[in-house]
Amino acid sequence: MLYRMPRITLKDVAQQAGCSPGVVSAVLNKSKGNIGVAQTTRERVLQVARELKYRPNHAARSLARSRTMTLGLAFAPGFNIQVGELFQMRMIQGIESVCLQHGYDILLVQGDQSDSVESGLLRLAPDRVDGLLLILRSSLDPDFHDILKDIKHVVSIGHQVGNDAYPAVLYDNVCAMQLAVGHLVAKGRKRIGFLGECREHPHADNIARHEAFSQQIKQAGLELKSQWMYGLNIRPHVSSQPWAGDSFREGYFGARYIFDNATAKPDALVGYNDLAIAGALRYLTEAGLKSPDDCMLIGVDGSQFCSTSTPTLSTISQPLEAMGKLATTMLLQLIEQEAEDFQASPVTTQVLEPKLIARESTGNALSMLL
């Protein structure tokens, strides 16, 4: 006969630690009760919980709090998640870290050609999740707004839903282009080109970067030449290509197109993301050109591979992990505001600022720390 050890409860921990079950709950569940618990008591409770190998009963906790202890995570139309995709995974890491800290699970809602995200959201009944994180690369179709009304708490990442109907965590694309163009101008570059996205329905943030780049070039008093631009002006001719939407190949073929057709060659290129500028580097290498001497390169995202390429690539960071963490924290704050002991505070849209990471591709010395 198999003997099963009895489950360690909060009362067991409380008895061993010499305090009340309420104090133990406040410490282990990181609730607002934590505020009134002395540090020595908190440490004693945590030590006893480790010794007894206490594991929380999430089912009982969910029932007691009338919650599922689950957050929905949806990638809306125009955003396909694939295992290994750097952009998505970095953001998910931030989301996951906050969920683990607060005892929440994640339910991923993702559609494909046969099962749209809309149908996935329709299946996401309010009794399955306590709230929804919605990752957007473009504005959400109005048809989705009615679906979201059934989900009480929603926070979007990347773009706002409707007319700021829900709080969001955004990235400042205009500031990113200010940093990129300003850095190249400070390096004495005057013939600056742009490598954009070429898919039929480009993501809104990439359109914003294209427009902000053009604006910054004009404000710097430099010439904005179509021969140095690849993206919006080229899209009708390449959107049907099998590599359209593949950032690395867009950067590779974009750089080749510009250098093959421009009368005066650009002395710097800004990529709409890091993969595009990595593709441009591949082309320059094959063409016998060097960066930064022949052409400086700078991208956007702050991808890890930028620090290991040859030369290392300058980039404008996009704090994806921080965006995921902040959005999840905001969503949990909305959920917790229903608790009687929670002092409500406004949960408003936040905009995270980019940072310049200058490396060898724009003439900066190699640093293994960047």
Q: Which CATH number goes with the domain that contains 338?
A: 3.40.50.2300
Packing angle, helices 10-17 and 21-28, rounded to 10: 110
Q: Identify whether residues 230 and 314 lie together within a single domain.
A: yes
- The encoded tokens of residue 365 equal 């010395």
Confidence label for 352 from pLDDT (cuts 50, 70 and 90): very high
Q: Could you tell me the strand order of the sheet in which 131-135 lies?
A: 105-109, 70-75, 131-135, 154-157, 168-171, 350-352
Question: Do 118 and 194 belong together in one domain?
Answer: no
**Cα angle, residue 263 at apex, residues 257 and 264 outer, rounded to 5°:** 100
* Contacts of 285 by beta carbon, 8 Å cutoff, 6+ apart: none
Asked if 162 and 191 sit in the same domain, the reply is: no
Q: Is residue 370 part of a domain?
A: no
17-23: average pLDDT: 85
Residues 45 and 105 in one domain: no
For residue 330, give both structure tokens. Answer: 């905001």
12, exposed or middle or buried, with CB in 10 Å at 0-12, 13-18, 19+?
middle
On whether both 130 and 257 belong to a single domain, the answer is no
| Domain at 37, CATH number | 1.10.260
Cross-strand bridge partners of residue 62: none
Spatial separation of the C-alpha atoms in residues 317 and 247, rounded to whole Å: 17
For residue 114, the model assigns a pLDDT of 42
Whether residue 253 lies inside any domain: the answer is yes
Residue with tokens 């630690």: 17
333 within 8 A of 317, measured Cβ to Cβ: no
Give 250: exposed, middle or buried? Use CB within 10 Å, 0-12, 13-18, 19+.
Answer: buried
The domain in which residue 190 lies consists of: 173-318+355-362
Total domains in the chain come to: 3
Using one digit for the tens of pLDDT, what is the confidence trace for 259-279? 998 999 999 999 999 999 999
pLDDT computed for residue 296 by the predictor = 97
Instruction: State how far the alpha carbon of 115 is from the alpha carbons of 45, 84, 112, 166, 256, in Å.
Output: 47, 22, 5, 25, 38
Entry pTM: 0.76
Please compute the mean of the pLDDT values over residues 25-35 and round it to a whole number: 62
Is residue 105 a part of any domain in this protein?
A: yes
The overall average pLDDT reported for the chain is 81
The distance from CA 178 to its chain's CA centroid, rounded to whole angstroms, is: 21
pLDDT number for residue 265: 94
In terms of domains, do 150 and 47 share one? no
Beta strands in the chain (DSSP E): 70-75, 105-109, 131-135, 154-157, 168-171, 192-195, 229-230, 268-271, 296-301, 314-317, 350-352, 356-357
Q: Are residues 314 and 181 in the same domain?
A: yes
Residue 84 lies in a domain: yes
* Residue 287, in any domain of the structure: yes
Between residues 259 and 198, the one the model is more confident about: 259
Q: Does the pLDDT at position 52 exceed 80?
A: yes
Q: How far apart are CA 117 and CA 112, in angstroms?
A: 7
pLDDT band at 3 (very low <50, low <70, confident <90, very high): very low
Same domain membership, residue 190 and residue 161: no
179 found inside a domain: yes
103 and 114 inside one domain: yes
Shared-domain flag, residues 158 and 219: no
Residue 220 shares a structural domain with residue 144: no
Inform me whether the pLDDT recorded for 234 exceeds 80.
Answer: no
| Position 113 pLDDT exceeds 80 | no
Report, as an integer, the average pLDDT of 130-136: 86
Please check whether residue 62 lies inside any domain of the structure: no
Which of 59-73, 108-122, 142-156 has the highest average model confidence (pLDDT)?
142-156
Same domain for 128 and 89, yes or no, is: yes
Residue 153 lies in a domain: yes
